[in-house]
Amino acid sequence: PHPFYAALRREAPVSQVEPGGMWAVTRYEDVLYVLKNPQLFSSEGFRPAVQPAWLQQRNPVADSILMMDPPTHTRLRALITRTFSASGVARLEPYIRQSAGEIVDGMLARRKVDFMAEMALVLPSRAMSALLGLDPSLAPRFKTWADAVTGVGIIPADDLKRRAELTGYLDELTHHLTGVLELRQREPGNDVVTDLLQARAQGGSMSDDELLGYCVLLLVAGLETTYDLLGMSALTLADNPDLWARLKKDRALVPKFVEEVLRFHAPSQSTIRTTTQETELGGVRLPKGATLLVQFVSANRDESVFPNAHRFELERTGSPHLTFGQGIHFCVGAPLARMEARLALEALLEKCERLVREPGPVTWNVAITTRGPAVLPLELLP
């Protein structure tokens, strides 16, 4: 898609891809303007994407902060800022480091593995179960649940079998999280659910739907994106032995590598906004109620902001990539995602001599806003 985005940035930076459809926003400057002006560009436009007319129950994520505007967004977001700060997530570091080490040992014992199934899925699932206080043995269900939360908006309307399946997964997810909320009400733990309940008890007003929506959003937002980030990181290292060698020699480069993977591959490719009034963007008049597809993936390769934007370069300074968004909705989980990626890579670099890609093309996942490998066969050399 990159040559296509480059052409859009040059010739039609704010354009309707098909008549009556969404508006693609592709330049860095315009993407940043949209994110920084929530009074003009609302996040409520997300809701129809997860709450299709056929779905009879409430999709819990529709009641989450991702899909809210101020002042409700401001009130609810304030409740978890501390939990997710860099020092807040540091409490998970020993557990995630140990998990990453165990996963790499397990992969080394078999040598040839699907990295996506063995590491990219398992590490974020463990982090999320610790964070939300979910039973770790349920971890294999997390991705199924997360895929159902986002999948209801994109399945063909006449696929009744798939509809019934996804409805069942949403019920299962709601059932388990409600159980955790009830348990933590009685017995506080060391997790974000307890933090949220305490914030509510101390006067932070939050309805039951908003509380459940929060937990579901965390699970979904924390899983798929981190899964893609880990997959793209391993793929990049397997395909570039020189980069692998540099990181192996100098571990201090790992965070820089992770930032460049985030910029270059943008695991979260885009987000959605709707205009609250008629307005102008990049010289184009937009009507009230226009839906925008805000393309981080394109902004991150904008040549006017990133020199040699199409080259993967470890030593970048200057403007930040937009993969975690910007402004009031800036990703709450950014410190956690960065930490998971760093610890996974450190475990690989410490225990493996090299990562070798098994022959054959990579298969990609199919989703609207995220992108990463679906299956990534690798050989780990001890």
**Which token pair is 49?**
């994407």
Q: Which of 337, 339, 344, 355 binds ligand HEM (CB under 6 A)?
A: 337
Cβ proximity to ligand HEM: between 36 and 112 the closer is 36
Binding ligand HEM (rule: CB under 6 A), the pick from 325, 346, 367, 379 is 325
Q: Nearest approach, Cβ of 156 to ligand HEM (angstroms)?
A: 25
Q: Is 323 in the site for ligand HEM (CB under 6 A)?
A: yes
| Of 222 and 282, CB closest to ligand HEM | 222
User: Does the protein bind ligand HEM through residue 126 (CB under 6 A)?
Assistant: no
The two most distant CA atoms of the chain are separated, in Å, by 60
- Select 255 or 325, whichever has its Cβ closest to ligand HEM: 325
What is each CA distance from 241 to 151, 251, 274, 294, 353, in whole angstroms?
A: 36, 15, 43, 34, 11
Q: Does 274 bind ligand HEM (CB under 6 A)?
A: no
Is 231 among the residues that bind ligand HEM (CB under 6 A)?
A: no
Nearer to ligand HEM, 99 or 163 (CB): 99
Among 180, 87, 174, 175, residue whose Cα is nearest residue 129:
180
Tell me which of 27, 265, 329, 342 binds ligand HEM, using CB under 6 A.
Answer: 329
- Residue nearest ligand HEM, CB atom distance: 333
Total of chain residues touching ligand HEM, rule CB under 6 A = 23
Residue 324 in the binding site for ligand HEM (CB under 6 A): yes
Tokens 């990539």 found at: 321
Tokens 């990534």 belong to residue: 376
Q: How far is the CB of 19 from ligand HEM (least distance, A)?
A: 25
Q: Does 24 bind ligand HEM (CB under 6 A)?
A: no
Contact (Cβ atoms closer than 8 angstroms) between residue 40 and residue 328? no
Q: Interface with ligand HEM includes 100 (CB under 6 A)?
A: no
Is residue 295 at the binding interface for ligand HEM, with CB under 6 A as the rule? no
Taking the least distance from each CB to ligand HEM, the nearer of 118 and 191 is: 191
Residue 267 within binding range of ligand HEM, rule CB under 6 A: yes
Question: Rounded to whole angstroms, how far apart are CA atoms 340 and 226?
Answer: 8
Neighbours of 164 (CB within 10 A): 9
The least distance separating ligand HEM from the CB of residue 225, rounded to whole angstroms, comes to: 3
- Measured torsion, CA atoms of residues 202, 206, 211, 214, in degrees rounded to the nearest 10: -100
The structure tokens 């997360």 sit at 146
Which of 121, 331, 344, 347 touches ligand HEM by CB under 6 A? 331
The binder of ligand HEM chosen from 40, 170, 215, 229 (CB under 6 A): 229
Asked if 218 interacts with ligand HEM (CB under 6 A), we say yes
* Residue ranges binding ligand HEM (CB under 6 A): 43, 65-66, 77, 217-218, 221-222, 225-226, 229, 267-268, 271, 323-325, 329, 331-333, 336-337
